[in-house]
Structure 1
Amino acid sequence: MNQLVIMHNQQAVTSSLQVAETFEKQHKHVLRDIDEFKKDVPNFGLMFFETTEPDSYGRERRVYFMNRDGFTLLAMGFTGNKALQFKLKYIEAFNAMEKKLIAPQPNYTLPQNFKEALLMLAEAVDENEQLKFEIESNKEKVILANAITTSDEGLLIEAAAKYMRQNGVNIGRDRLFKWLRNKGYLVNRQGREWNMPTQKSLNQGLMKIHCHLYYDSEGELKTSRQVVVTGKGLMYFINKFLHDGQLKLSL
């Protein structure tokens, strides 16, 4: 119940997914109810914002964001004492989020004399130097993240695990292999296909197989196969860890 209301485009909103989960309804039924408003609500577009989000399989699905007015209109049809308690919690969450939006900004006072101006300048220089230090410290991480997400080559499993570990995820190569097998992203069947991407991983573009030709010591032409995690796959798996609450990662 901690994420009933979120910030989206500088507005306090909730989503049809969150409403369905909180009120224990099927998401398709919540979508159906919202779609019905399109016919009779003139300012529908000011209260509801349709978008898409991937499900747990990476498939795009329709989702609505709604502001306080949209939620109120939708929730009017939810009855019962339990529904009433949920409505009250939503209203509290909207109020808290909107309070942050309109919170007054800190006032900045002008220096009263030359000494005070020098002290303020010194503090500003210190803050600027600290900011420059943080930017330099994170530059390598930002460059690496951009390179990974835009690369078609992808990362070997070991390199992907290292990247996660460098960003605070307590996972290594073997544990990542095991997790990927258990979750159905790698083949969990002993044999030639062991640790190869499943069709699901390939179809979603999460992984690739790189094939290389080489000659063995007997002069026979052989093929070696390497599994790589694509940039899309790396971000997908990171989000899976975060969504499942198993690991914490800071990019």
Structure 2
Amino acid sequence: MNQLENTLTSLEVAEMVGRRHDQVIRDIRKITEQLNDHKNVDVDYFTEDTYKDGKGEIRPCYRLTKKGCELFSTRMTGAKGTQFAVSYIDRFNQMEQHIKQQPDISNLSPELQMFNQMFQAVANQEQKLVEVNDKVDNISEIVALNTANWRNETGNFIRKIALKQGGGVAFKEINQQIYAEVERRGGFKFNIRLRNMQTRQIEKGYSKSAVKKLNKLDVIEADKKATQIYIQVVKEFAIKYQVELD
């Protein structure tokens, strides 16, 4: 979370439990249906909300209270359930400590309360500047990455982008978008090049299993210009989707 709040988002929960966001939403909706069937008040557990994805589109999400996290954890067993419990308990303890550290200004005069609000606004602005500087540093590191191991590095970026967008399905979609942009910039036709590469290897006597394993990345690796464009496009996507380096 960028700011401490008294709820966790379903996006954060999805990250904690290692599942796709749509799966977490589906489970929460099932729980709320059961709560409503038993005339329980689900607002004490979950509230509907929205967020903007990497494309700027509005998507549905939920906010979970501590009770909501406890209820959600009942659907999980074994090590994953334990790990989720540890994660959300730590988060809520962190929130509670933050709240306790805030001074009680209810007894201050209106003038002093006003000054306190001004000081808080300045502090918040400074925090935002720190966050902006962190993003700038992260972007600089992305741009400056060593491309000697480009296949592993770009693959890592794409997996992180996909995780933020919902998991396995998003991984395929992001890959398709990247390939399409590389083709547009370089005037390539990767499907044709891949077929030609497969034909050449068959003619050279390579086994069918080896030829079958060839993919678009092999085509890109065989062309220095395509490699450079591909790396640049992946970096741009990483910056666009605000991927953070480990």
Which TM-score bucket, shorter chain as reference?
Answer: 0.3 to 0.5
Q: Which one has more relative contact order, counting CA pairs under 8 Å at least 6 apart?
A: 2
User: What is the TM-score of this pair, normalised by structure 2?
Assistant: 0.43
Q: Could you say which structure has the higher helix fraction? A: 2
Structure with max Cα Rg: 1
